[in-house]
Structure 1
Amino acid sequence: MPKASVIMPVYNNAPYVLEAIHSMLTQTYRDFELIVIDDGSADGSADLISQIGDPRVKKVFHSQNKGVVASLNEGLSLATGEYIVRMDGDDISTPNRLEVQISFMDAYPEIGLSAAAFTSTTSDRPKVNPAHHEEIQTWLLFHCCICHPLVIMRNDLVQRLGIRYDSNYPHAEDYELWNRLAFQTRMANLPINLLYYRQHGGQVSHMHKAIQDESARRVRQRQFTQLGLELSPEENQIMLDFMFFRINPWDAQSYSRAAGFANWVLGQNAKYHVYDQQMLNLAFSRCISVQAY
């Protein structure tokens, strides 16, 4: 049994997929299997994948496109490693990625899932997400602060909890899963750049933004329900203004409305104890001052 199982779903990633696979096969850490699932690509991706001869690569080919959730869940079912690692078919892992992430998880058995920092085509500065569990759990109410193609999680956790991605949240299935797991296991983000995240017009965030936004809204509403709250359209808009740093502290009416909303949520959290109260208060304050993390 390999130490890690890397799950890589692929759909029409022909310009990038070999580079993505190569970045995994040249890792300094060698004890892993790479499960590449081509989900009915129509651009030649499957032909490129079929030519790979490395015995660590397990290839799965779908004759028709089933969607990323089906591919991810199939990968979870096929994974035999102690750790499950995510990777996308259009990104590039640093050569030491597995070595760093597996060493961290081995050293901290209380952590069930972790990710790390990354750089992207839109910035040469690493994107560093909240590091500690209480921060991550709280900020997930505002943003997806776990980089999906950088995730590593324990397979025994996956099996024990029956973890699967939920197709009821299309194009935000990862955000839904992290919010769910944040109350079932401890999480961490390493402040170490371990991935080059490629942004391009074919990504879900570009092609299906409206559906993704609606799925994410429903995830957040589920979290607010734990606080005994049902957001109206106006209240949801205030939450979006917090999330996207649109609160103007110099506009008395806008600031008063936002402060009232934040105090309302904080009051409910003090009652239900869903989030760390100090961290939730800090998150609202930082959104006003445009300082996310």
Structure 2
Amino acid sequence: MTNPKVSIIIPVYNGSNYLREAIDSALGQSYPNVEVIIVNDGSTDNGATEQIALSYGNRIRYYPKENGGVSTALNYGIEKMTGDYFSWLSHDDVYYPNKIYNQIKFLMGNDLKDTILYGGYELIDESSMVRAQIKPENLYPEVKLNIPLFPIFRGLINGCSLLIHKSHFQKSGLFDENLQLAQDYALWFKMLRNAKIKFLPGISVKTRIHNEQQSSVKKDRNLNECNSIWISFMNEVSVQEMCEMDGSPYVFYKKTANFLQKFTSYTEAQQYAESLAQKAKDKISVVIPFLNRIPALIESIKSVLAQSYTNIEVLLIDDGSTDDITPLKELEDPRLRYINQEHKGTSAARNLGISLSLGEYIAFLDSDDIFLPGKLEKQINYMKTYKLPFSHTSYLRMNMQGKPKQLINSGRFSGKVFPRILASCGIAASTVMVKREVLDNMKFKESIILGEDVCLWIDIAYSNTIGGIDEPLTSVRIGSTSSVFDIEKQRIAYLNIVEHIIKNPLYVVNEHEINLLLKDFTNLFKL
């Protein structure tokens, strides 16, 4: 593979005005091992296109066919190619002489045989005069440009700048012959969900803009097609892919809408992206990790589904339950999402829920606790009113039978609570709601079994204002095995929190608060 063959495929229809310039640029490549395939898609120009192609003799491979559109011509060329790599050249575009050489050199030099490459390009007019340069490296950082779907959703890929190993067509199929204009992006979307992509800086292609292009001739049909394909992209892209590109579904939808509005005429797709952004912005994702205890879990779920705030999703993260979960799956509500993982602990389950959630706000609920009526609506309105990234509420302790036992006024703990939070933190996980952006770089520590929630609240409080609602909006169930009554669990939790604090140089300088924590620890356990 040190000198792989590249197949340059040129589909053409009535292209006698620009075809010769395209063929010359393909044959003039500094990389020697290329074949140039011309597919005449049923031209009706009295043989003018065919005459130009045949004038090159055996320097090219020429195939005439009935007219079927550019997709059919590209697919025909792919079926006839004998090269290891596919490179598309429109009949009215032009390659720079080193286009193929630079790409093959980069792939072979970095052992990236199957990686798809793309680059920048120039816009030229009918007279081949350069009108603009498109350099993605000037628009976005390199790390963004190499995220597989990012160049799709920001319109950065010029199909003629690509170099694609033939194996990707075997995996993803060929161009959709029912599409007239969006066939390229439709295929790139499929390919890049299962492939690596690399942006190669520099200009490799000249793309011609002129009035005879298909996009100008059939404007209404093409607009409908492009709107439809972009909407399908937004419906298919996963939460993980959105977060990889832009950090959260809301930011992804918003930036996609902005791109469509600024750079395209796809008004329907732009409005659809706006609507999805608004839904994601207002959506609350409730993450409930559980391990068995199905009857209590169902009670918890019902307390969420009964909330007055309805733009929610409930992520049920099964942490390896061994009990019969059939009653759980009998719950019918489209807002419920069931996810199973092997037993890894509550922190791992919560982190998984965060990574799969769609909402811009994330609330946590333990599997035996209950949201009181109006909890979510009051909390999200409070956070929006005061522009808070994190909030919690007071709560009621209840016994295992669900009977209220004690009011805990933890909601009074509010404002800039760092470093006070180092000495004492009474925030209950089931009362917390947090904006997704806060959790982009902070997660529950999966190595900690007890006290892991307090460690995260400390991390968040270091650089964020904490909002507290002094109204009990959650009921927290306690029993004989709860930490409230289990001294050994309390001791382990304290030790985990202390270790978390003293390992962080930003925290350990707060000697007064740490001494208060240690004093409380000593008194509680009589050390």
What is the TM-score of this pair, normalised by structure 2? 0.44
CA apart distance, 1:111: 4.8
Deviations 1:220-260 (A, max 9, x none): 2223323689xxxxxx99965552239xxxxxxx9x98963
Question: Residue 162 and residue 176 in structure 1: after superposition, are their counterparts in 2 closer, same or farther (change >3 A)?
Answer: closer
Pick aligned residue for 1:165 from 152, 172, 175: 175
Q: What's 1:271 paired with? A: 356
What is the distance in 2 between the residues matched to 1:174 and 1:2? 24
CA apart distance, 1:168: 3.4
Higher relative contact order (CA 8 A, sep 6+): 1
1:80 corresponds to 2:82? yes
Secondary structure of the 1:140 match is helix
Deviations 1:181-238 (A, max 9, x none): 1211011222210111111011122222332332222222223323689xxxxxx999
1:150–1:195 contact (8 Å) kept in structure 2: yes
1:192 corresponds to 2:220? no
What is the distance in 2 between the residues matched to 1:265 and 1:116? 37
Question: Residue 257 and residue 10 in structure 1: after superposition, are their counterparts in 2 closer, same or farther (change >3 A)?
Answer: closer
What is the distance in 1 between the residues matched to 2:191 and 2:254? 26
1:112–1:157 contact (8 Å) kept in structure 2: no
What is the distance in 1 between the residues matched to 2:120 and 2:38? 23
Pick aligned residue for 2:278 from 241, 253, 260: 260
Q: What's 1:61 paired with? A: 64
What is the distance in 1 between the residues matched to 2:237 and 2:18? 43
Question: Residue 240 and residue 18 in structure 1: after superposition, are their counterparts in 2 closer, same or farther (change >3 A)?
Answer: same
Q: What's 1:51 paired with? A: 55
What is the distance in 2 between the residues matched to 1:71 and 1:139? 25
Question: Residue 228 and residue 86 in structure 1: after superposition, are their counterparts in 2 closer, same or farther (change >3 A)?
Answer: closer
Deviations 1:2-58 (A, max 9, x none): 6111111011111110011001111111111111101111221111111112x3411
> How high is the sequence identity, in percent, across the aligned residues?
23
Q: What's 1:287 paired with? A: none
Q: What's 2:261 paired with? A: 244
1:126 corresponds to 2:133? yes
Q: What's 1:211 paired with? A: 221
What is the distance in 1 between the residues matched to 2:100 and 2:238? 41
- Between 42-51 and 100-109, the greater mean CA deviation after superposition: 100-109
CA apart distance, 1:113: 1.6
Question: Residue 112 and residue 42 in structure 1: after superposition, are their counterparts in 2 closer, same or farther (change >3 A)?
Answer: same
What is the distance in 2 between the residues matched to 1:228 and 1:99? 36
Aligned-partner residue type, residue 80 of structure 1:
T
User: What RMSD over aligned residues (CA atoms) do the two structures have, in Å?
Assistant: 3.5
What is the distance in 1 between the residues matched to 2:214 and 2:223? 11
What is the distance in 2 between the residues matched to 1:265 and 1:2? 50
Matches within 5 A, 1:136-155: 136-141=148-153, 143-155=154-166
CA apart distance, 1:60: 0.3
Question: Residue 240 and residue 214 in structure 1: after superposition, are their counterparts in 2 closer, same or farther (change >3 A)?
Answer: farther
Structure number with bigger Rg? 2
Pick aligned residue for 1:174 from 174, 184, 199: 184
Aligned-partner residue type, residue 263 of structure 1:
K
Deviations 1:114-172 (A, max 9, x none): 2211111266442023655554513423x43210122210012323x152001233310
What is the distance in 2 between the residues matched to 1:216 and 1:195? 23
Q: Give ranges in structure 2 of 5+ residues lacking alignment.
A: 240-252, 264-270, 286-312, 314-353, 359-435, 441-527
What is the distance in 2 between the residues matched to 1:115 and 1:266? 38
1:115 corresponds to 2:114? no
What is the distance in 1 between the residues matched to 2:98 and 2:283? 42
What is the distance in 2 between the residues matched to 1:183 and 1:272? 20
What is the distance in 2 between the residues matched to 1:16 and 1:73? 22
What is the distance in 2 between the residues matched to 1:266 and 1:91? 48
CA apart distance, 1:80: 1.2
